[in-house]
Amino acid sequence: MAGVVTASTACSVPAFPVPLISSRRLPGGVHFRLSGSGHTVAKTVTRLGSEVAFATYVGSDLLGAVAAQGLRDQGLFGPGVQVCAEQPRSLLLFDPGGTRSGTSDLRDTPGLTYPGPVFDQLLGGCDLAVLSNISFTRPLVPVAVERGVPFITDAHLVDTVDSAHNRDWMAAAHAVFCSHEGLPRGPVDWVADMWRAHRTPVVVVGCGADGAIVGLRADRRIWQVSPVTPRGVSYQSGAGDTLLGSFAHHYARSGDALTALRAAVLSAGWAVGGEPGTDRSPTAAVQEELVAALGLPAVQRLR
């Protein structure tokens, strides 16, 4: 796994737009945790039972010391952790309905170049890699390709298959994730466009309250996985990264993308029911209990 770790503060607000209040006390309403796409994916995969080699940065500042200790506590601090000047950080506001508004400050990490030889060593023995689309992982794409390790990436908000920022990852990835928000012609057309442009074997579109869509190029089929929220919706931030992490875990074990996505939708649906200060990625035991109680989400073939 290669991606960013952020030191994140989340605060509840009564509603959006947020009214101006010069000062307020909010016992239990301000939460601090490690976040970021790289961290959430790595943590999700670990909690589900897979081993993870994590390529990331921690700052040499005070927040970096906190991030480093957090990674150690979670079993994610290893030889792939490099040092940067300042820890990336973020601030997120959320209301009782789960609507959120976030601000990220990645400091200098987008301009860094993660050392290829270190990543090459991390790939030894890996069945699958995940490269988030932060710029410091761009030079790692050819490393994974030359190693013959298939990788998954997440383009997040994207509106063209020829995206200047995302092209390097999308052109080489075995599986490409993105959000439905911002797609020019809808998820089904996006899948077909990715097949034509990059011959991507697996294309996944997270559709929020409508679940997720997966396109399998080998048989030219597109499926929709129905949403499920076993605990309701409390806090949605990180749901897409939980979806990706759970998919990576199950796909690496089974090789079945559709079944892996059904399990991932269940994981993400459980995660959005948790409070921001809690461990919101399900453990392997929780995942098994969910499957036993609810089964995997329903699927519908779209094409």
Mean pLDDT of the chain, nearest integer: 95
Domain boundaries, the chain: 38-54+113-301
In angstroms, the Cα distances linking 112 to 41, 115, 145, 238 are: 21, 9, 21, 24
List, for residues 23-69, the tens digit of each pLDDT value.
989 998 899 999 999 999 999 999 999 999 999 999 999 999 999 99
Per-residue pLDDT averaged across 260-276, rounded?
94
Cα–Cα distance measured from residue 220 to residue 51, given in angstroms and rounded to the nearest whole number: 32
Contact 193, 161 (CB under 8 A): yes
Q: How high is the pLDDT of residue 21?
A: 86
Cα–Cα distance measured from residue 1 to residue 7, given in angstroms and rounded to the nearest whole number: 18
Q: How high is the pLDDT of residue 166?
A: 97
Q: How high is the pLDDT of residue 97?
A: 78
Cα–Cα distance measured from residue 54 to residue 56, given in angstroms and rounded to the nearest whole number: 6
- Single pTM value for the model: 0.94
Q: How high is the pLDDT of residue 196?
A: 97
- Least Cα distance to 92 among 183, 9, 188 occurs for 9
Helices (H), the chain: 37-48, 62-73, 116-122, 141-147, 167-172, 187-198, 239-254, 257-271, 284-294
* % of the chain surpassing 70 pLDDT: 100
pLDDT above 80: residue 277:
no
Q: The domain 38-54+113-301 is classified under which CATH number: 3.40.50.300, 3.40.50.2000, 3.40.50.720, 3.40.1190.20? A: 3.40.1190.20
Rounded to the nearest 10 degrees, the angle between the axes of helix 37-48 and helix 284-294 is 70
> 94 pLDDT band (50/70/90 cuts)?
confident
pLDDT above 80: residue 98:
no
CA atoms within 13 A on the CB side of 25: 1
